[in-house]
């Protein structure tokens, strides 16, 4: 298959997945749609098993993963984390609980390799999947690499409905408070507006800070993170260093906030990185996938129980309602932008006036946004970085 034909097929599949995801309000994710289409295509012979390699897109995926992690650091606002410290704790503990529960309890029921692979992925997203897929490939376990993709695709089937139901219940509770007159819908104090902070490193003048300059800075930070990782013998995965260095470089002023977005590069970087997750599907057989149904159900069931119980218990300490606590914990299973989409849908459908909608959104949106960032972009990456050496 020619490179341009292979790339065109891949992006058409991704586009169809996006459409179905939008139609089902993200209950059926793009990742699930793409996985099914690719598997059916490989099993029926419609797609050659070399299609991903033929596209030549994978040749740059390894570099782009490091750049993406640095970029994720540039969208983390430490001040927001400080304001929502209770949410940070609930989300992080839920993420850890899923990983510990799936690994230790799951290992008693299914093969240890499946439990180890699924643990950080269920509490994370694309990056955690890439880390555990790399672990499986290095160990010569192609079955675990396929299982990693299946776990990632199954997350949304639990996460989205749980978050939607819990937030809807929380919004109704807030609406009852509004109707009872126990809360004020007065506009926020203007003094709360944030002001720009001076950075240690002054920004480049706009005329020099081109898309190429923004990406070059991302590359330099990724290079530094890789070098530091090597100094420590790669005991901590280099992608974890990339995330940490991305946060530091943004806070110091070297990197722009939302760097890839500023360079208008997110739309091409994310699909290429996502593609690397599906590469093992080309070698997956119907028998292999069928044999993973039970381990998949075990991983999802244990993870769901863990995040639900722990989120509610920890949330109770901080006087969060059980609905809000459980919604925060469920963010492990889908992250951004699902956290924003569901919060918007709930506030719009529950509030009856613009003021009510704004109040409900202000109560749930920041918590869900921070929770998704803590779990998917930080905690799961750190957990996967540690667990990928356990096989």
* For residue 26, pLDDT beyond 70: no
In the chain, where the domains are located: 56-181+203-387
* For residue 172, pLDDT beyond 50: yes
Residues 6+ apart with CB under 8 A from 122: 98, 99, 102, 151, 155, 299, 300, 303, 332, 333
- Cα torsion 90, 95, 101, 102 to 10°: value is 160
pLDDT tens digits, 173-220: 999 988 888 777 755 443 344 445 678 888 888 899 999 999 999 999
Q: Alpha carbon 152 to chain centroid distance?
A: 10
- The model's pTM is 0.70
| CA–CA separation, 195 and 221 (whole Å) | 27
pLDDT tens digits, 293-339: 999 999 999 999 999 999 999 999 999 999 999 999 998 887 765 67
Across 332-360, average pLDDT: 81
Residue 25: per-residue pLDDT: 63
Cβ atoms within 10 Å of 147's Cβ, excluding its own: 29
């Amino acid at each position: 298959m020619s490179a341009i034909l292979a790339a065109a097929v891949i992006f058409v599949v991704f586009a169809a997945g996006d459409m179905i995801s939008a139609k089902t309000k993200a209950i059926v994710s793009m990742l699930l749609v793409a996985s099914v289409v690719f598997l059916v295509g490989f099993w029926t012979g419609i797609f050659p098993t070399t299609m991903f390699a033929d596209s030549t897109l994978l040749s740059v995926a390894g570099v782009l993963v490091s750049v993406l992690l640095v970029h994720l650091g540039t969208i983390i606002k430490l001040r927001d984390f400080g304001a929502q410290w209770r949410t940070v704790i609930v989300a992080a503990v839920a993420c850890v609980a899923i990983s510990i529960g799936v690994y230790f309890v799951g290992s008693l029921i299914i093969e240890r390799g499946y439990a180890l692979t699924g643990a950080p992925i269920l509490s994370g997203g694309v990056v955690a999947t890439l880390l555990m897929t790399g672990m499986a490939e290095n160990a010569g376990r192609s079955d675990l690499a396929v299982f990693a993709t299946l776990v990632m695709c199954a997350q949304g089937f639990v996460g989205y409905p749980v978050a939607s139901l819990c937030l809807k219940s929380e919004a109704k509770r807030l609406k009852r408070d509004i109707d009872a007159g126990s809360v004020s819908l007065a506009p926020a104090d203007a003094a709360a507006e944030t002001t720009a902070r001076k950075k240690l490193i002054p920004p480049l003048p706009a005329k020099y800070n081109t898309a190429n300059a923004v990406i070059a800075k991302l590359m330099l930070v990724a290079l530094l993170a890789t070098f530091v990782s090597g100094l420590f013998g790669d005991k901590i995965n280099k992608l974890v260093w990339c995330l940490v260095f991305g946060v530091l470089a943004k806070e110091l002023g070297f990197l722009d906030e939302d760097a890839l977005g500023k360079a208008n590069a997110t739309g091409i970087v994310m699909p290429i990185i996502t593609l690397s997750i599906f590469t093992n599907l080309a070698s997956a057989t119907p028998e292999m996938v069928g044999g993973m149904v039970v381990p998949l159900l075990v991983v999802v069931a244990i993870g769901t129980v863990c995040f639900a119980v722990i989120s509610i218990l920890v949330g109770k300490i901080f006087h969060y309602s059980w609905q809000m606590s459980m919604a925060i914990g469920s963010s492990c299973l889908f992250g951004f932008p699902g956290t924003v989409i569901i919060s918007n849908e709930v506030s719009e459908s529950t509030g009856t006036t613009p003021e009510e909608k704004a109040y409900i959104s202000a109560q749930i949106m920041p918590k869900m946004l921070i929770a998704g960032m803590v779990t998917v972009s930080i905690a799961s990456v750190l957990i996967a970085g540690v667990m990928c050496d356990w096989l």
